[in-house]
Amino acid sequence: MQINRTGSAQWSGGLKDGKGQISTQSGALNHYPYGFASRFEGVPGTNPEELIGAAHAGCFTMALSLILNEAGFTAESMETTAKVTLESVEGGFAISAIHLTLTGKVPGADEAKFTELANKAKAGCPVSKALASVPISLEVRTA
């Protein structure tokens, strides 16, 4: 089975004065604005790092749901935040770390088991695999 999804970006102008728009195949984002100011100066709009964070949090949490089910558990609730760190390095910028923070309530699973299964999901989710060159850490909290 092979699934292809697309995202696109349009840009006009220079780096600091230019403006861009990001779109997704599904239409969840449709010409959504992004630019230098939204990436580096906190101006409203999106940026690649928060989109990577959202994709990683979504993929990880979905993978964990599967792993929990395979282990005989069903989550009552789970929430994951992915903090993506972009920093200046020699030669430009790089994503230097991703920190996942998971809070979940899983009846029947103690904190140790929940953490074990969450680590399995972190290692196995497709987005984690795609981002393997970046250190990924995980903090697990029970609700």
Under DSSP, the state recorded for 125 is S
Strand partners, 78: 104
- Interval 46-99: pLDDT, tens: 999 999 999 999 999 999 999 999 999 999 999 999 999 999 999 999 999 999
Distance CA 7, CA 23 (A): 6
pLDDT number for residue 59: 98
Tokens of 72: 């005989």
pLDDT number for residue 65: 98
Specify the CATH class of 48-142 in words: alpha beta
Work out the percent of the chain whose per-residue pLDDT is above 90: 97
Per-chain mean pLDDT for the chain: 96
Other C-beta atoms within 10 Å of 10: how many?
A: 11
- Do 60 and 82 meet the contact criterion of CB atoms below 8 Å apart? yes
Name every residue whose Cβ is closer than 8 Å to that of residue 77 and which is 6 or more positions away in sequence. 104, 105, 143
- Tell me the C-alpha to C-alpha distance, in Å, between residue 67 and each of 15, 18, 49, 78, 142: 43, 44, 27, 13, 17
Three-class secondary structure of residue 86 per DSSP: strand
* Residue ranges covered by each domain of the chain: 7-41, 48-142
Q: Among candidates 2, 31, 30, 36, which has minimal Cα distance to 18? A: 36
pLDDT number for residue 143: 87
pTM of this structure:
0.93
